[in-house]
Structure 1
């Protein structure tokens, strides 16, 4: 079965697409990547999207327009990907998260909103679309995130010790795989690139809008006073399962922290301090979980300041990229969406209560029919592992 996974993460920079061919492999599954690409948002669309994000005010008029415009952008990416591979059986679109409602005192998730109307994708391609993949888990008492525990648990199954997978997008999340009833645990740690990118974009420090190759951080010095204030964030003391996003970690959050610390840092020193915040919070989480090896994906995996900092902080625990598992770090989230869709199509739950905190596993998402009749196969057994191939 060929499935196109579409994903735009908390960096809000564009749309990742991956066409995955799934095939049975004994009591497991093989996932072969046929195509992968990343398409930046048009600058004017990205500017409108960023302007509508909290804590900025917005309107229902703008939300409606963005839902259609992002849906059309996803549809264009889907059509281009399908043309490259000659057809797919299913599309799974995560859409663009614009708000993740979490109660600050209890850490309970109450709702989530992803824009990118799936009807545009179905109408453009004629292919059925699975979307809104987080809401059912939240309705079942879960966080709705991170869902990547499903993929990480299957890929890391059978490895010795306590392996873990770390994704460094706008937010850092970790999956820890150990022995026992709750073998797979996953949670959002805190900001990975979200605060760093916010400073770089706000101050025009790099035309790409992020700290390319960690050069800005490498040229600055960590301010320990500000770092202490940042590390005092109550979210870090919540116990997993837990999730967070740019609703908490946004530009005004940085400004408020600097006021509390009594600092007004240069761009270089501020980026260096925020980069160290990512290293410290991830290393603390990995050590507390007893991680014995760590595999890293996402944009932050390309930042040598973060990667070298994690290697030093966690030594002798090896810190490597997920590419060594045959899982390209830049395509991982689109592959996850394809896997979620494969589960939904076959009547299988894709949420893990030990990772999200839901009352029980749930089949995720809603299906928008394509051009023809909608025919679902009989449910099948959950795969016990996943092998990746190219």
Structure 2
């Protein structure tokens, strides 16, 4: 079964895609990533998304317009992916998260926009969307769903492996004899990107190759103030997002610390914040290896900092598992689609905190009626097979 996974993460800079061909393999699954790519949001749409995100206020009219415009952007990304990889049996669209409603460690609701009917109309294929809310209703965090793919990919590895994603928010999955645990740690690139954009430090809108952090100096007083954030002390399962970790979070910490850090020094401090928050929680996990994905992998300052802060832990990119660092989340969406299509609950309750695993998502029919197959048993493992082919300009 071929599935197209689409996602725009907490960096809200564009849409990642992956076409994945799944085949049963005994009591597991084999996945061949046919192609993957990334399509940036139009500049005007990204600007409107940024302007509407918390802590900003917005209107229902703006939400409705952004839902349509984002859905149209996802439809164009789907058309581009299928033009390259050929037809698929199912499209899975995560959409764009615009609000994750939390109270302490409890998640009360979550909202992803990007109307899936635009995708179904454009490509004629059924679309699975709104994948997080069922876990929330079951008492879970609705995140991090990376635990679903991490648990399967790491299932047969010796020792105590873990998978870390460094997107806008950092999240980790730890797999051991005591089961699977996962949680959002804190900001990975969210605060760095916010400062780079606000101060116009790089035209790409992020710290490309960690160059800013490499030439900056960490402000220890500011770092200490940032580390006082109460979220870090909450016990998992827990999740967070840009509702908490946004530009005003940095500005407030600067004021409280009496700091004048800016430019490269501020970026260096925020990069060290990511290293410290990740390392502080993982040191006590007795890890043997850590597989890292997401945009943060391309930041050598961040990766070197993690390796130095976690002695005795083999810190590697997920490429070594056959899963490209920039394609993992789109492959995850495709996997959630395969599971739901085959009647397999797709969440890990010990990771999200839900009362049980749940079938995920809402199906929008394509050009014809829906015809789902007979339910299958849950796979015990997932093996990524073969080389991935990146698509054209802008490919991830």
> What range is the shorter-chain TM-score in?
over 0.9
**C-alpha separation between the residues in 1 aligned to 2:86 and 2:345?**
29
**C-alpha separation between the residues in 2 aligned to 1:156 and 1:49?**
35
Deviation track 1:367-390 (CA, whole Å, cap 9, x = no partner) reads 001111101111110000001013
**C-alpha separation between the residues in 1 aligned to 2:260 and 2:344?**
52
Deviation track 1:148-201 (CA, whole Å, cap 9, x = no partner) reads 101001001111111000000000000000013xx1111000000000000000
**C-alpha separation between the residues in 1 aligned to 2:249 and 2:2?**
42
Aligned residue for 1:227, secondary structure, equals helix
Partner in structure 1 of residue 132 of structure 2: 134
Deviation track 1:220-274 (CA, whole Å, cap 9, x = no partner) reads 1111101111111100000000000000000000000011101111211110000
**C-alpha separation between the residues in 1 aligned to 2:262 and 2:139?**
43
Determine whether 1:369 maps to 2:365: yes
Partner in structure 1 of residue 225 of structure 2: 229
Partner in structure 2 of residue 163 of structure 1: 161
Aligned residue for 2:62, secondary structure, equals helix
1:298 counterpart (294, 299, 321): 294
Partner in structure 2 of residue 355 of structure 1: 351
2:316 counterpart (285, 305, 320): 320
Partner in structure 2 of residue 90 of structure 1: 90
Q: CA deviation at 1:79?
A: 1.1
Partner in structure 2 of residue 9 of structure 1: 9
**C-alpha separation between the residues in 2 aligned to 1:154 and 1:286?**
20
Alignment of 1:251-262 (within 5 A): 251-262=247-258
Aligned residue for 2:157, secondary structure, equals coil
Q: CA deviation at 1:80?
A: 1.4
**C-alpha separation between the residues in 2 aligned to 1:207 and 1:123?**
35
Alignment of 1:256-275 (within 5 A): 256-275=252-271
**Structure 2, unaligned stretches of length 5 or more?**
387-396
Partner in structure 2 of residue 342 of structure 1: 338
**C-alpha separation between the residues in 1 aligned to 2:147 and 2:56?**
31
2:170 counterpart (156, 169, 172): 172
**C-alpha separation between the residues in 2 aligned to 1:330 and 1:389?**
17
1:386 counterpart (382, 386, 393): 382
Partner in structure 2 of residue 42 of structure 1: 42
Deviation track 1:41-66 (CA, whole Å, cap 9, x = no partner) reads 01011001101001111110000000
Aligned residue for 2:136, secondary structure, equals helix
Moved over 2 A (4+): none
Partner in structure 2 of residue 143 of structure 1: 141
**C-alpha separation between the residues in 2 aligned to 1:34 and 1:140?**
34
Aligned residue for 1:97, secondary structure, equals strand
Partner in structure 1 of residue 74 of structure 2: 74
Deviation track 1:293-318 (CA, whole Å, cap 9, x = no partner) reads 10100000000000000000001211
Q: How many residues end up aligned between the 2 structures?
A: 386
**C-alpha separation between the residues in 1 aligned to 2:269 and 2:68?**
38
Q: CA deviation at 1:288?
A: 2.0
Partner in structure 2 of residue 102 of structure 1: 102
| TM-score (structure 1 length as normaliser) | 0.98
**Structure 1, unaligned stretches of length 5 or more?**
none
| RMSD (CA atoms) | 0.6
**C-alpha separation between the residues in 1 aligned to 2:188 and 2:326?**
15
1:184 counterpart (156, 180, 192): 180
